[in-house]
Every structure is written in structure tokens, then in C-alpha cells.
Structure 1
């Protein structure tokens, strides 16, 4: 199991969500509002804040779905402009379902 964590432009969220929901067996996701900045820098301006609004997608998926989810986000979120976002794949060693008490290394 892996976590796919993506930081994307807010205006792309609906399009990304629709594309992900077309994947058979898509496990669902959580969305978090966040702000941040990358390598780009701007001249210092009084009261300038470098933080830009982003949406963070958190998806825990079985190994067999990771590549298709990753590629779907990369393709759908891309506008071709600087600042489209980032996608990471992170190992998730174990999970648990609170409602049932189920604990499993492959819990999706």
C-alpha cells in the first residue's frame, strides 16, 4: 500500500476528481486546503507573502493502482505552466479501520 500525496492548483480539483473516479476500484481520497511555495522567488515587496493556495490530495491505494492514479493526476493537473504542483508516492506500511477494528498491511 502507498500514499499518493499531490499538491495541485485549486481550479484543477474538480477535473482531477472526475478523472480519478473513473478508475475502477479507486479507493477515495481526502482533500486539505494548504498554502506553500516552491523554488520560485520574487523580489521582496513590502508585506509580500510567498504562500500560494493549493489543494493537497491524500490517497491511500493498493500497489496495483498506484501507477494509474499517479499518471492520472499528472496528466489531469498539468496546464503546462510553472506552479502546476507536485505528486509524491510514499510507503504506507500499515493501516486500520476504526469502525471495525480491522488492522491490515494492505487495508485500502
Structure 2
């Protein structure tokens, strides 16, 4: 199992969600608001703040779906502009279902 974590432009969320829901056995995702900056910092107006709004997406997926999900995020969320986002794939060693007490790697 892997975690796919993506930081994308907020206006791309709806389009990406629709695309991911079309993947058979898509496991679901969590979305939260965040702010950050990367190598390129934007200066707008008089006040300098390097932070720009992003959506953080977390998807925990079985290994056989990771490549498909990763590719869809990279393709669909691409705005062809600086700051379009980043995608990470992380190993997940174990998980647990709180309601049932189940533990395991899936």
C-alpha cells in the first residue's frame, strides 16, 4: 500500500475528482486546504507573502492502482504553469480501521 499525496491548484480539484472517480476500485481520498511556496515565489501588490493557496490530496491505494492514479494526477492537474503542484508517493507500512479494530497492510 502507498500514499499518494498531491498539492494542486484549487480550481483543478473538481476536474481531478471526476477523473479519479472513473478509475475502477478507486479507494477514495481526503482533501484539505493548505498554503505554501516552492522555488518560484510570487510578489503581488505591496505586501509580500510567498504563500499561495493549494489543495492537499491524500489517497491511500493498493500497489496495483498507484501508477494509474499517479499518472492521472500528473496529467489532469497540470496547468502548464509554474506552481501547478507536486505529487509524492510514500510507503505505508500499516493501517488500522478504528471502527472494527482491524489492523494490516491493506
Verify same fold: TM over 0.5: yes
CA RMSD of superposed structures (Å): 1.5
1:7-86 matches, cutoff 5 A? 7-42=7-42, 47-86=47-86
Q: Secondary structure at the match of 2:82?
A: coil
Gap runs ≥5 in structure 2: none
Pair 42,28 (structure 1): closer, same or farther in 2 beyond 3 Å: closer
Equivalence for 2:103: 103
Tell me which residue corresponds to 2:5: 5
Q: Matched residue pairs, number?
A: 106
CA distance in structure 2 between the aligned counterparts of 1:94 and 1:62, rounded to whole angstroms = 12
SS of the residue corresponding to residue 35 of structure 2 reads: strand
Following TM superposition, the consecutive aligned residue runs of length 4 or more in structure 1 with deviations greater than 4 angstroms are none
Q: Conserved in 1, the CA contact under 8 Å of 2:7 and 2:55?
A: yes
* Other structure's SS at 1:50 match: coil
TM-score, scaled relative to structure 2: 0.94
SS at match of 1:28: coil
What's the TM-score once normalised by structure 1's chain length? 0.93
How far residue 82 of structure 1 moved from its aligned partner, in angstroms, is 1.1
